[in-house]
Structure 1
């Protein structure tokens, strides 16, 4: 008859435990996966702009980056390319704004809105004349009335025929107040119907701070902000029909009626005027584009200055703006090599920063810092200095820019001693890996 031997049971239990430790615990701790490093995100110092835009303290103003018209003109599908650029102009934030944020009388900048809204309703291809319109008594009376008020006009006669393109030429190049009304009536049936459509168009395109109460801007109630009107200038510059009209000499006007191009101003500074006008309430109002070339790259932006007291002030302010543009437009750092976007800390106390491995720059004018970074890191426990551990992406000047992230220093294996003494994090890591 066998007898119960406690010592033997204890020995078996101890032996079993030792076997389990050697066969399971040892491999689980010594050979199993390590817990991944904890991640702490970081924000490096923002790059410093070489020169911020110089904008007037008075009035209201704004500038907006845009794709040069020449790129749209070189595209295989010009209308599609221009539409894409126009969409970009609508979605882009201004590079900078100046003066006040309240809407001010916009003078003849309202005619550029008229041109955009009419072309939206009655599209033209570049070089196309469009449908012809026979002027009626109301069109001739507008000419007489505006001439009597000493407002800008282009002469017309009852019954003569003008094409859509010719009417746009007279309104844009000659700043013809009577042609603005004629275009509005022709495209929408009445000026009131045009105004309803134009204000709906402004609101739908994110320019709710701007309102028109006439087609030509003679009324003080047609008012807008510098930010909105810079967007109008960008849309006009990237509209292939308007850009083509502005690029042509004034002699392109119907009948070569001796009308000067009212839009041109300071071309030697790299400025192309889109609309230039003066009213007592609005002061000098100017919509324009400007270009700065550095080496082989050109940066083009659209701008609006409203409420300038006189042309001497406009000249001084535009000259200052272009000087700041030439100083500030360059290859701008977006993601700088060595900048840390995260710190990795292991359970055994090693730390290493995740830093930008490949620098990224963009040609432009940095008035605002790149947007918030999106960091996508791999699960890392150990790794050599310089090894890739993920990517960082930022929005810069309307473009998504990405670069790889690398370990700034080595994260080492903690060794068998740490592994054997820290079973819980190791077993947790093993379970998580299954």
Structure 2
């Protein structure tokens, strides 16, 4: 065998179990060791706190009822229908006023200057009579016996060309008969007879007429005769609309002014002077024309918007013309133009969009927006201010998506308010650490 000078290879001795381990980590060994110790300390502290809480009533803390969430909304008590009211074809002269029951005033023209109103004054005569002597349904009311003085009054008015119905002494007219003669052919002598029948004298009745005007807020109105024949009986379109709305509350009156004709004693058939009856929904109320007053009409019209029927009360006064037919034709033309405009303008509009109008916030800070489930739509016209009522319910500690939390209502229309999303659950840490 060859001879070599190298000693034979031998394995290193095994490590001694009792000897210290040798760390080979290099220069980063000490900082990493410190970070590990800090993490361990934090975990131990957290565990210590949990143990301490468990020992101090954490079970009771976790079982406590959750506090109610807070619901807030930002819906104004009055909202305006977006947009601007289209131009209304108001008359070039005279005055006009339009009001929709349940909605409000569309507008008017001609200012507050009182002018003669002719036979429209008879509307107040009827109003006072029905207040003092109400009749309902098919009741005819008490009898009025025609006296010789009534006959003399009738005859004295013939030369001046007034609107009249013939009467004879001893004739009996029921209250309904008299009101039909007053409102349909506009009989001035019946206005006088009703005044005396009610109050004993025309002066006494005029006091009642003017007192009723004051009660209705007709601040620019003055009655000096019960028929309107005198030019000193003056008013405005706005004032007469107030009266028209009030007198239509008497069902008997509304029935009478919608009649095209009626039957009364002595005269027989009487016809309604209002040529617009049945046109564009018109169902009353009273015409009036004199040389000083021009053409006048206090009117009421039914307007259909979808499935709803609205009542518009309006007045157009002091329209020009050389005689009664021309004056009334002028006023009717203006009224029809106004009604056509109203029908185009009064319809359904969106008042409140289905967008967030509030929020729900839980005690632990989770939130959800609140919105109408559908847009709130109302009938009206651009620029109309609408009263809005918002009601809310208590949402509980937290809410689910689509949970009803209230309602918003306007003009008889109503939609629910609901949450747009669910709120989150509270964390265990929040439950453990919340204050009592």
CA-CA distance at 1:215 after TM superposition: 0.8
* Cα deviation, residue 117, structure 1: 1.1
1:268 alignment partner, SS class: coil
Pairing partner for 1:405 from 402, 405, 417: 417
The structure 1 residue matched to 2:107, chosen from 84, 93, 97, is: 97
Note the C-alpha offset of 1:97: 2.8
Matching of residue 54 in structure 1 with residue 65 in structure 2: no
Aligned to 1:151: 162
1:96-140 per-position Cα deviation (integer Å, ceiling 9, x unaligned): 231124544332121011112112212234444333333334323
Please give the per-residue CA displacement for 1:225-257, whole angstroms capped at 9, x wherever unaligned.
Answer: 434422433344443322333343435243346
Quick one: distance in 2 between partners of 1:26 and 1:220?
91
What's 1:415 paired with? 427
Q: Assess if the C-alpha contact under 8 Å between 1:55 and 1:61 holds in 2.
A: no
* Mapped pair 1:42 → 2:54: no
Residues 256-292 of structure 1, C-alpha deviations (whole Å, 9 max, x = no match): 4675421232633332332111234433221122123
Structure 1 portions without partners, runs of 5+ = 1-14, 67-91
- Name the CA shift for 1:40/1:268 in 2 (closer, same or farther; >3 Å): closer
Are residue 341 (structure 1) and residue 357 (structure 2) matched? yes
2:311 is matched with which residue?
300
Q: 2:394 aligns with which of 346, 361, 378?
A: 378
Q: By how many angstroms is 1:156 displaced? A: 2.8
Give 1:194 deviation, angstroms.
1.2
Greater C-alpha Rg? 2
Identify if the C-alpha distance between structure 1 residues 112 and 329 changes in structure 2 by more than 3 Å, giving closer, same or farther.
same
**1:355 alignment counterpart:** 371
Cα gap change, 1:197/1:379 in structure 2, threshold over 3 Å: closer, same or farther? Answer: same
What is the aligned counterpart of 1:324 among 322, 328, 341? 341
Alpha-carbon distance in structure 1 between the residues aligned to 2:199 and 2:216: 19
In 2, Cα distance between the equivalents of 1:137 and 1:53? 55
Aligned residues: CA RMSD: 3.6
Q: Cα distance, 1:167 vs. partner?
A: 1.9
> How far apart, CA to CA, are the structure 2 residues paired with 1:335 and 1:290?
29
Q: C-alpha offsets along residues 311-349 of structure 1, whole Å, 9 cap, x if unaligned? A: 45423422222222332344455665x244323345655
Q: Which one has the bigger helix percentage?
A: 1
Alignment-derived partner of residue 173 in structure 1:
184
- Structure-1 separation of matches of 2:364 and 2:370: 18
Give 3-state SS (helix, strand or coil) of 1:352's partner.
strand
For residues 423 and 112 of structure 2, the distance between their equivalents in structure 1, rounded to whole angstroms, comes to: 52
Q: Measure how far apart 1:304 and its partner are.
A: 2.0
CA-CA distance at 1:179 after TM superposition: 1.1
Q: Provide structure 2 residue ranges, at least 5 long, that are not aligned to the other structure.
A: 1-47, 321-326
Contact 2:273 2:287 in 1 (8 A): yes
Q: How does 1:54-203 map to 2 (within 5 A)?
A: 54=88, 56=90, 58-66=93-101, 94-99=104-109, 100-203=111-214
Between the aligned partners of 2:218 and 2:391, the Cα distance in structure 1 is 34
Q: Is 2:272 the counterpart of 1:261?
A: yes
- Counterparts of 1:305 and 1:318, CA distance in 2: 7
Q: Secondary structure at the match of 1:324?
A: helix
Distance 1:381 1:154, change over 3 A: same
After superposition, what is the alpha-carbon deviation per residue over 1:30-82, rounded to whole angstroms, capped at 9, x for unaligned?
8552463362523497444797693626544333445xxxxxxxxxxxxxxxx
Report the TM-score, using the length of structure 2 for normalisation: 0.73
Cα displacement string for residues 7-40 of structure 1 (whole angstroms, at most 9, x for unaligned residues): xxxxxxxx99964575346753785524633625
Question: Which position in structure 2 is the counterpart of 1:278?
Answer: 289
Alpha-carbon distance between aligned partners in 1 of 2:136 and 2:145, rounded to the nearest angstrom: 21
**Partner residue of 1:23?**
56
